[in-house]
Chain A
Amino acid sequence: MAEDSRKYWNPFTETLPREKIRAIQLKNLRKLVEYSQTNSILYQDRLKDINPEDIRTIEDVKQIPLLEKEDLRLAQEDKSNFLFGDVLGVPSERVNHFRQTSGTTGKPVYVPESSESWSWRTEIWCHILWMAGFRDTDRVFIPFGYNVYVAFWEGHYAAEKLGCMVVPGGALDTKGRINKILEVKATGLLNTPTYGMHLAEVARKMGLDPRDFGIQRMICAGEPMPQATRRHLESLWETEVYDHIGGTEPCAWAGMCFQRKGLHIMEPYFLVEILDLKTQSREVEVGELGVAVVTPLGRRSFPMIRFNTKDIVRKGEADCDCGRTSMMIEEVAGRADDLCKIRGVLFTPVSVEELLRAEFSQIGEYEISVERQGVMDTISLKFETLEEIEEAAMRMLVAQLGERLKVRTNLRFNLQPVKYRDLPRYTLKAKRFKDLR
C-alpha cells in the first residue's frame, strides 16, 4: 500500500469509482450554488430561480446558464466594489492574491483569490506536478517573470509544496537562464511550449546541446500544445514533456500522467462538461470534439459555475493504465476564438502548428495571417528556418510545405520565408495567428 499510495498525490480521490466521483461532485455543486447565492452579487441574479435542493443529478447543472468571459468583464466594469466588482465571493479584505487574464481576447479579467482559494488552486497544481513525476528531489527552474499571470505562480507554489527546490528565472535574459539551468543542475522546467523551443534554439546557438542538460521532465503551460509539438520538445531536450489544460479564471483542470496519452480531468475537484460545438447544450460522445465548460468546485473567493472556457477538446474515456479513474481529454484541439472560416473552409491554427512540428523540423518561428483582398480571403504563412538554407533547397521546402498544408487544411497558403529573427519571439502566450479581415 505504501509504495502504491506514493504513485498518486491523493490515492483516495484519484482511484475512486466513477459513481463516487459523481456523488462528491453533486454534493459540492449544491454547496457551491448555495454559497454563490449568498455571497456573490453576480450569482444572486444568475441563480435567482435555482434551488440547490433541486439539483438532484449532475445533469441538473444544465438549468444554470453558461458563464462567458464577457459576463465576467461586465460584472467588473464600473462597479463600486473595487477592484473585482460583482464576481467577488468573499469580503475584499480577504483577497490576498491578485491575478489577471492576459487580455488576448479583450479587456483583462481581474481574478481575486483568498488564501483559502489560493491553497485550493495550489493543491490542484500539486496533482499536476506529481502526476508528471515531480518529486522533492527535483530542482525546478521557471524561466519567466510571472508578473500577474497565474499558471507559473501556481506551478511555483505547488512545486514548493511538493518539496522541490524552485529557482525563479525572471530577471535573466535567455542566455542567462540557460547558464542558470546549468549552474543549479535543474532537473525540471516549467515553461510555455514556445519558450521551451526558444531556449533550446538559443542553447544551440551558444554551442550547447540541451539534450545534455539533464532535464528529466518539463511541464508546459500557457498555450495549446499539439502532440507533435510535445514530441518535438521531447526530442530537443531528450526529456519527458507533460501538458495540462487550464485557464486563469477556472484554474488548471486537467493534467497528464506518465502514460502521456491525453489528460486526466481533476475530478472530483472540478465538474467538466464537454458540449457540442454548435448548440453548446449536448454532452458529446467519447471521441467527439466539444467545448469544455468548467465548474471549479472548491473556490469561494471567485465562485464560478459553468464557465465556458472556449477550449475545444476531444472527449476521452475514464480508462488509463495508470489506474486513475477520472474522465480523460484525448486532445486539446484549439480555441473556439481561433476557429474561423476561410473561403468556406473551417480552419484552426493548431493544424499548422501540428504539421510544422511533426514534419518540418527545420522551421522555427512562424506567423499565420488572414486578410481580405477584394472579395477573397487569403491566408499567408511567414516562416523562419533555424539554419540558413540555399535558394534551391528553399524552393523545394516551399513547394513541399505548400503541398502538405493544402492536404492538411484544404487551403492554399501564400508562403513567405523570412530572415532568421525577423518574426517576434514570445515568452508567454504566443500570438502566431492574426485574422486581419
Chain B
Amino acid sequence: MNSQEKTPLQEMKLKIEQIEKLAWELNDIGQGIPVIEKNVQNFLNTVFVLKFGISDITEIDSA
C-alpha cells in the first residue's frame, strides 16, 4: 500500500465525519422542524458511538 492510500479504518473515519457534517447541515436547513431535528439527533447519536469505536483508533494510529 503506498503512503497516499487510505486504510479501511481511515476511510471509515472519513465517512463518519462526512455523515456528521451532513447531519448538522440537514439540521440547519430544517431548524424548528421536529421531524428533522429529532431524526438528526438519532444520526448524531450513532456518529458519537462510531467515533468511539472507529475514529478513535485512527487518531491514535496517526498520533
Binding site for B on A (CB under 8 A): 10, 12-13, 16, 20, 23-24, 27-28, 115-116, 118-120, 123, 268-269, 297-298
Contact = CB atoms under 8 A, between A and B. Distances in A.
B60 interface: yes
Contacts of B46: 119
Interface in B1-36: 9
A28 B48 contact: no
A16 B44 CA distance: 25
A23 B60 contact: yes
Nearest to A9: B53
A118 B63 CA distance: 29
Contacts of B45: 115-116, 118-119
A123 B52 CA distance: 10
B53 A13 contact: yes
A373 B36 CA distance: 67
A155 B53 CA distance: 19
A20 B48 contact: no
Contacts of B44: 116
Interface of B: 9, 41-42, 44-46, 48-49, 52-54, 56-57, 59-61, 63
26 contacts: A10-B54, A12-B9, A12-B54, A12-B57, A13-B57, A20-B57, A20-B60, A23-B60, A24-B57, A24-B60, A27-B56, A115-B41, A116-B41, A116-B45, A116-B48, A119-B45, A119-B46, A119-B48, A119-B49, A120-B48, A120-B49, A120-B52, A123-B49, A123-B52, A297-B52, A298-B49
Given A10-B54, A28-B56, 19 more contacts: A12-B9, A12-B53, A13-B57, A20-B57, A20-B60, A23-B60, A24-B56, A27-B56, A27-B59, A115-B41, A115-B45, A116-B41, A116-B45, A119-B45, A119-B46, A119-B49, A269-B52, A297-B52, A298-B52
A245 to B, nearest CB: 20
Contacts of A13: 53, 57
A268 B56 CA distance: 10
Nearest to B12: A12
Contacts of B63: 23
Tell me the interface secondary structure of chain A in the complex: helix
Nearest to A126: B49
B33 to A, nearest CB: 18
A23 B45 CA distance: 24
Contacts of B9: 12
Nearest to A297: B52
Contacts of A123: 49, 52-53
Given A20-B60, A23-B60, A115-B42, A10 B53 contact: yes
Contacts of B57: 12-13, 16, 20, 24
Contacts of A28: 52, 56
B50 to A, nearest CB: 9
A370 B1 CA distance: 68
Please name the 7 residue pairs, one residue from A and one from B, whose CB atoms are nearest each other, closest first: A119-B45, A123-B49, A23-B60, A10-B53, A116-B45, A24-B56, A116-B48
Contacts of B41: 115-116
Contacts of B52: 28, 120, 123, 269, 297-298
Contacts of A269: 52
Contacts of B59: 27
A27 B49 CA distance: 16
A239 to B, nearest CB: 30
A152 to B, nearest CB: 21
- Could you say which of A10, A116, A269, A297 has the most chain B C-beta atoms within 10 Å of its C-beta? A116
Contacts of A297: 52
A27 B60 contact: yes
Contacts of A268: 56
A123 B48 CA distance: 11
